[in-house]
Amino acid sequence: MVSHAQTHRLESGGLIDRSAPLNFRFDGKTFAGFQGDTLASALIANGVKLVGRSFKYHRPRGILTSGSEEPNALVELRTGARREPNTKATTAELYDGLEAASQNCWPSLRHDLMAVNQLFSPIFVAGFYYKTFMWPAKFWEAIYEPAIRRAAGLGRAAGVADPDHYDKAWAHCDVLIAGSGPAGLAAALAAGRSGARVILCEEDFALGGRLLADGGMIDGMPAAEWTSRTLAELATLPDVRIMNRTTLFGVYDGGTYGAIERVNDHLPSPPEHQVRQRLWRIVAKRCVVAAGAIERPIVFAGNDTPGVMMASAMRTYVARYAATPAKRIALFTNNEDGWRTVETALGAGLQIAAVVDARLDVSAAHRALAAKAGFPVLNGSVAGVEGGKDGVRKISISLTGGARAEVEADGLAVSGGWNPAVGLTSYHRGRPKWQDDISAFVPDGAPPGMVAAGAANGAFGLGACLSQGFAAGAAAAQSPGHNGSAGTPPVADDETFSLTRLWHVAGKGKAFVDYQHDVTASDIELAQREGFESVEHLKRYTTLGMATDQGKTSNVAGLAILAAVSGKSIPETGTTIYRPPYVPVAIGAFAGHHRDEDFHATRLTPSHHWAAEQGAVFVDTGLWKRAQWYPRAGEKDWLESVTREVKAVRSGVGFCDVSTLGKIDVHGPDAGAFLDRVYINTFSNLAVGKARYGLMLREDGMVYDDGTTSRLAEDHYFLTTTTAKAGPVMQHLEFCRQVLFPQLDVQLTSVSDQWAQFSIAGPKTRDLLREIVDPAEDLLNEAFPFMGAREVALRGGIKARLFRISFSGEMAFEISVPARYGDALVRNLMLAGKQFGVTPYGTEALGVMRIEKGHVAGPELNGTTTAADLGHGKMMSTKKDFIGCVMAGREALAAADRQVVVGIKPTDKKRRLRSGAHVIPKGEIPGSASSQGYVTSVCFSPTLDQWIGLALVERGRERIGEIVHAHDPLRGEDYDVELCNPVFYDPDGGRQRG
C-alpha cells in the first residue's frame, strides 16, 4: 500500500533522520515517518488530528502534549500477543512496521456509535457511578459493570501470554539524576567531575530535555552544541552512566529508587536473548531531581477539540520533529513562555492567526513581532472552539472589556503556565508548597538525600536551571566524600517570567479539566456543591487525576477551580497525596525473570534425575519437586501405582528419597541443654548412637514441628525437621540460640543439602542393606536396635549414616550419604535390591503408610493442635523449662473436650473418604453448632483394602467404636464413619522393631 504523503512535514530541520524513512500503520492505513519520530510526531506529520475517543463521552480527541503527561493520545500498540493498550503515542518511538490502533471507539474512530454517550451526558456527571447504579445491588456485577466497561474504558489487553522477557537489575551510585535537561546535565557534569559515581535517567530516547525543542544559548554557544559537548565530556568519565529510555518512577525507603528502562520498546520485537524492558532498583546516596516542569492547560469550552495543543508541545513538534500540527496557529496564553511557540512557528514559516493573551502587559517586543508578522494580539481569553473530529476551525474570544471576537485557525496552542514535576519529591507523603510568584506548587523538602533543581524546583529560566543543577550536582557529590573539582559551571541568561493567573474561562459547552477521565469544570463545581470540598474527596468522587496519566495536566487546574468555587485559596485547598509510579509500569517488568517455571527457585533432591529417568510423577512441595509415585506400564491410575508401591514395601522392601527433610547440625557442649529447651521432651539424656522423636511447641503452646534427632557424639546432635518447616525451624532455633539463650554454648548449621537421605522400609530391608553396607557392620537388633543411629561404612569405602527409624511402621532404616553420592546410592540400591524386588516409592505411598500407622503430619500439625491433641501429651516433660511449656498448660489447651486425633473408617467398606468433612454426632442436624471436628487425612489403605483416615474429633479417644456422621457440604456428601484407634497397622509395633 502506498504511504500517505507527509503533508505536515517541514522541508528541513528537526532532529529526525531523513535518510531513515519508516513505514507504519495507524488504524489500518499506511503512513511514513522518519527515524527519530514518535508515533505522535509521525501522525502529525501526516496531518492526522483525530487519534482517539474519550473515556466517558467518546468525544473525538487529538494529541495534547509531546511527552509522558499525555492524557488523550492513547493507542493500542502492536498486534497479537504483543498488543499493548493505553500506550501514549507521544512517547512511543516510531519503528519500521509499527502498527497502532485507536481505542475506545466502535465501529471506527471516525464513526464512533458510542459517541451517543454525549447525549446522555447528564448521567455521566461527577459521581455518576454512585448515583446511577445504586439499585438493585445485584445488577452491579451482572449488568451495570460489564456495560460500563464496554462503553467507557481504555484499550484491550492482548488476552494471551506476553511473548517477551523482562528482567530486573540493581544499580548503585553516589548521585542519581532524574532528567537530562539543562539542570540534569549540569548536575551530572558537576557530580561526575567531582569523582562521584553518577547515574542519569532520561525517559526520552534523546537527551537534552527542553533544550531539544527550545534551544537557547549556553556558554556562548547554541544549546545543541553545548549538549553534545557536555555528553562527550560525560562519556569520558568512567563512573558516569547515562540511561536513556529510562523513567525514574518511584523513591522508596533508604535511598532506593525504581526505574523502568524500555530496552527494546523502540523495536518491533526484542532481538533474541534480549529483554523488552528492565526494572531497575537503584541505590543512591543522593538524588537530584531535574525532571523539569509540565505545561498546564487552561480550561475553556471545547478545549478538547483535536488541534488544541499545549503551546510547548506545538513548538516541540515543529522544532524537534519538523512536523506541523497546524498551518495557521492561534495562541492562547496567560504567560510569557507561550510566545516562544509563536517565534518557533514563524521561524518555520507557519502562519499565526492571533495571539490571545490574558495579560494586560504584553511586551513591546512581542507587539512589534505581531505587527511585523501581521497577526493581532488580543487581550482576553478563548471562550469557545468551533470544530470537530477534523480539528479546530474557529476560535471565539472574550476580549477584556466584554466584546467578543472570532479568529479562524486550524490549531490552537495553549499555555497556562508551568507546573514543576513534583512527583518524585513528594512520594514520601511530602506536600508541595504553593509559590505565589510563579503561581505553582514547588517541592517543600524531599525524601532524605533528594533535592530538586531547575524547573522541577520552580526555577524556569535557563540560567537558573544550569546554576541550580550544577550546584546540586556538586553538593550531592561532596556529601559521599567526593571532593574533586566540579570545574566551571555553565552559564546562560534567564528568560523573562511574567504570568497572569487564569485557570478556567466560563462559557457554554464542556470545558475539560481531566481529559483522560472526562472530568469537566462543571463536574468539579457540582461536586463542591454536593459537599466534596476536600481535595481528596473531590478526586475520588469525580475521578479527577485517577487515570493512567495520574492527572499530570489536570490536578492543579482542578484544585484551582475547586478553590475558586469554595472561596478558598489554592494553598488552603492543597494537593492530593502523590504516589508512585510516575508512569505506568508493566506488571511483567516487576515479575522480571520470575514467571512460569521460573516463578520461584526450584529445589531438586539428589535422586531427582534418576527418578525422572524412571518416569516418576513429581509434585511441588514448597520449592521442592518430589517424586509422588512411579507409574509402571499398564497401570491405569495413580491409585493403582501407589497401591502397588505400598504392598511392595509391606511385603518386601522399598525406598523413598526423604532428603527434603530439614537437617541441622547442633554442636557444642550445651547442645543437649539447648535441645531440652526447644523440644517438649528431653534430649540431654539421649545416649550417643541413639535417635529420639521430638516435638517442638510455639511459645503459645501449640505444636510447631516434629522430627527425629540423633546424638552422633557427646557434643553433636543431628536434628531433622519436616520438609515444610525446614527454613522456619532453623530461624526459630537461631532465635532461641542468639536471643533467648545466648549463654548456652551451642552452634547451629543447616546441613540439609549436605546429605542425601533415603528411607528403606519393609521386612527385607536388612537383606538389602547387607548388600550395600560393609560386611563388618552388624545390623542385627542387638547391635543396631530400633532408634539406633550411627555412622557405617559402605562397600566401596563410602561412609554413610544409618538411622533405625520408621515412618511406615515397617522394619526400616534411613540411610544418608554425602549428597553427591545420592545418585549412586539409588542406582546401587536398585541393582543390589533387584533380587528382593526393591521398589522405589513416592510421597503418596509414604503418606498412605503413615496414615495406616497413625503418624501425624502436616494436616494434623496445623498450628491449632497441642501435643496432647496429637496423642503425645505424655512426652511433655514437667521437669524442665521449654518453649511453650507454660502456655501449653492453659485451661483451654488442657480441656477435656478438645478435638484430638482419632482414626476413622467408613461403615460402608466400599465408601471413599475425603478430608475436610465435618464430624457430626449421629442424629444431629449438621451445622457449625453440631460439628465436633473434621477429617484431616485420608487414603486408600491397600493393607486394609478400604479407605481410612485421621480426624480431629472432640474427646475422640474416649469414643473409639462410636459411629458418627461425616458431613461434607462442599462436595455434597454424607455418610457414617466409625471412630477407631488411629494406629491401623501393627499397633504393637512389632514389625518396626523386628
Partner 1 sequence: MSSCAIPSFTIRMEGASVAEFSWPPRSPLEHALVAGAYGVREVAPGIFLTEVRNFELIQVMARRGKGAELASATTARFGMAAPDVPKAVSASDVMLIWSGPDQFLVLSKGGKYTINTLSQAFSQSASLSDQSHARAWISVSGAKARTMLAKLSSIDLHPTAFPIGAAAATSIDHTSVNLWRGDDGPDGQAVFNLLLFATFAGSLWQTMLDAGAEYGVDIRHSEEFA
Partner 2 sequence: MRIVCPFCGERELGEFSYLGDAKPVRPAAGAPEDDVFDYVYLRDNIAGAMSEHWYHAGGCRAWLKITRNTLTHEISSVEPAAGAGAAEVGA
Evaluate whether 46 touches 8 at the Cβ level (below 8 Å): yes
State the chain's maximal CA–CA distance in angstroms: 116
The distance of closest approach from Cβ of residue 841 to partner 1 in the complex, given in angstroms and rounded to an integer, is 21
The x, y and z cell numbers of residue 611, run together, are 527418578
By a kind-dependent CB cut-off of 5 to 8 A, residue 167 interacts, out of partner 1, partner 2, none, with: partner 1
Least Cβ distance, residue 671 to partner 1 (angstroms) = 9
- What's the closest the beta carbon of residue 704 comes to partner 2, in angstroms? 13
Taking the least distance from each CB to partner 1, the nearer of 199 and 383 is 199
945's grid cell: 483394602
961 binds, among partner 1, partner 2, none (CB under 5 to 8 A by kind): none
Site residues for partner 2, 259-288, by CB under 8 A, read 281, 283
**Residue 390 contact, options partner 1, partner 2, none, Cβ 5-8 Å cut-off depending on partner type:** none
970 touches which of partner 1, partner 2, none (CB within 5 to 8 A by kind)?
none
Grid coordinates in use for 969? 457440604
CB of 589: closest distance to partner 1 in angstroms?
13
CA atoms within 13 A on the CB side of 829: 31
- Cα torsion 409, 410, 411, 412 to 10°: value is 30
CA distance 178 to 855: 61
Helices and strands (H and E) in the chain: how many: 25, 49
Alpha carbon of residue 78 to chain centroid: 23
Phi then psi for residue 725, to 5 deg, are: -100, 10
Pick 132 or 731: Cβ nearer partner 2: 731
- Per the listing, cell 550536582 goes with 473
Q: What is the β-pairing status of strands 617-621 and 624-629?
A: antiparallel
Instruction: Pick one of partner 2, partner 1, none as the site partner of residue 890 (Cβ within 5 to 8 A by kind).
Output: partner 2
Among 182, 255, 822, 847, binds partner 2 (CB under 8 A): 255
* Shortest distance (Å) from residue 975 CB to partner 1: 42
Residue 994 binding target from partner 2, partner 1, none, CB below 5 to 8 Å by type: none
Among partner 2, partner 1, none, residue 835 binds (CB under 5-8 Å by kind)? partner 1
Q: Should residue 881 be labelled a site residue for partner 2 when binding is judged by CB under 8 A?
A: yes
- Which of the choices partner 1, partner 2, none does residue 832 contact, using the CB cut-off of 5 to 8 A by kind? partner 1
List b or e across 406-424, with b for residues whose CB sees 16 or more CB atoms inside 10 angstroms.
ebebbbbbbbbbbbbbbbb
Indicate the pairing of strand 166-178 with strand 98-102. Answer: unpaired
Helix axes 521-529, 555-566, angle to 10 degrees: 40
Residue spans of beta strands (DSSP E) within 602-653: 603-604, 617-621, 624-629
Residue number, 120 or 735, with CB nearest to partner 2? 735
Return the number of the residue (640 or 771) whose C-beta is nearest partner 1.
Answer: 771
Residue 252 site contact among partner 2, partner 1, none (CB < 5 to 8 Å, cut-off depends on kind): partner 2
Say how many CA atoms lie within 13 Å of 8 toward its Cβ: 25
Residue closest to 466 by CA, chosen among 484, 492, 487: 492
Decide whether 585 or 746 has the Cβ nearer to partner 2: 746
887 near partner 2, judged by CB under 8 A: yes
Shorter beta-carbon distance to partner 2: residue 525 or 745: 745
Q: What is the closest distance, in whole angstroms, from the C-beta atom of residue 734 to partner 2 in the complex?
A: 6
Choice between 254 and 567, CB closer to partner 2: 254
Binding site for partner 1 (CB under 8 A): 165, 167-172, 197, 239, 272-275, 281, 283, 593, 598, 600-606, 609, 623-624, 659, 665, 667-669, 715-716, 743-745, 747, 749, 751-755, 771, 794-798, 818-824, 828, 831-832, 834-835
Neighbours of 688 (CB within 10 A): 14
Q: Which stretch binds partner 2 (CB under 8 A): 128-136, 251-259, 626-634, 856-864?
A: 251-259
Min CB(985)–partner 2 separation in Å: 38
Rule CB under 8 A: choose which of 7, 108, 228, 256 binds partner 2: 256
CA separation for the pair 721, 661 (Å, rounded): 6
Interatomic CA distance for residues 194 and 192, integer angstroms: 5
Torsion sign over Cα 429, 435, 440, 445: negative
- Contact between 406 and 397 under an 8 Å Cβ cutoff? The reply is yes
User: From partner 1, partner 2, none, which one binds at residue 255 (CB under 5 to 8 Å depending on kind)?
Assistant: partner 2
List the x/- string, 663-702, binding to partner 2 by CB under 8 A.
------------------------------------xx--
Return d(Cα 372, Cα 677) in angstroms, integer: 95
Binding mask 439-478 for partner 2 (x = CB under 8 A): ---------x------------------------------
Q: Give the C-alpha separation, 790 to 803, whole Å.
A: 7
Query: Which of these ranges, 142-150, 158-166, 740-748, 947-955, lies near partner 2 under the rule CB under 8 A?
Result: 740-748
CB of 679 to partner 2, least distance (A): 15
Residue 324, C-beta contacts closer than 8 angstroms, at least 6 positions apart: 8, 9, 10, 44, 45, 317, 318, 348, 350
Question: Out of partner 2, partner 1, none, which partner does residue 752 contact, by CB within 5 to 8 A per kind?
Answer: partner 1
Minimum CB distance to partner 2 smaller for 168 or for 393: 168
Backbone angles phi, psi at 796, to 5 degrees: 100, 0
Position 437 contacts partner 2 (CB under 8 A): no
Cβ density class 101-135: b for 16+ within 10 Å, e for less? bbbbbeeebeebebbebeeeeeebbbbbbeeebee
Min dist. Cβ of residue 428 to partner 2 (A): 8
Look at residue 480 and give its three-state secondary structure: coil
Establish if 890 lies at the interface with partner 2 (CB under 8 A): yes
DSSP 693: E
Region binding partner 2 by CB under 8 A among candidate stretches 287-295, 397-405, 752-760, 884-892: 884-892
CB of 666 to partner 2, least distance (A): 14
The closest of 553, 297, 322, 542 to 412, measured between CA atoms, is 297
- DSSP-derived letter for residue 926 is P
Rounded to 5 degrees, what angle do the CA atoms 203, 208, 209 make? 60
Give one DSSP letter per residue of 316-382, joined into a string.
HHHHHH-B-S-SEEEEEESBGGGHHHHHHHHHTT-EEEEEEES-S---HHHHHHHHHHT--EEEEEE
- Residue whose CB is less far from partner 1, 65 or 757: 757
All cell numbers assigned to 647:
504392598
Tell me phi and psi for residue 237, to 5 degrees: -90, 115
φ/ψ of residue 991, rounded to 5: -65, -45
Q: Which one of partner 1, partner 2, none interacts with residue 735, CB within 5 to 8 A by kind?
A: partner 2
From 340-348, 376-384, 623-631, 879-887, span contacting partner 2 (CB under 8 A): 879-887
* Residue 18 touches partner 2, criterion: CB under 8 A: no
Instruction: Identify what 751 binds: partner 1, partner 2, none; CB under 5 to 8 Å per kind.
Output: partner 1
Q: Is 171 in the site for partner 2 (CB under 8 A)?
A: no
- Cis peptide, bond prior to residue 669, ω within 30 of zero: no
Between 615 and 889, name the residue whose CB sits nearer to partner 2. 889
Among 133, 252, 638, 786, which residue sits at the site for partner 2 (rule: CB under 8 A)?
252
Pick from partner 1, partner 2, none: which does 593 bind, CB < 5 to 8 A by kind? Answer: partner 1
Residue 927's binding partner, choosing from partner 1, partner 2, none, with beta-carbon cut-off 5 to 8 A by kind?
A: none
- Residue 795 interacts, among partner 1, partner 2, none and using kind-specific CB cut-offs from 5 to 8 Å, with partner 1
Binders of partner 2: how many residues, by CB under 8 A?
Answer: 29
Sites of contact with partner 2 (CB under 8 A): 252-256, 281, 283, 428, 448, 699-700, 731, 734-735, 737-745, 880-881, 886-887, 889-890
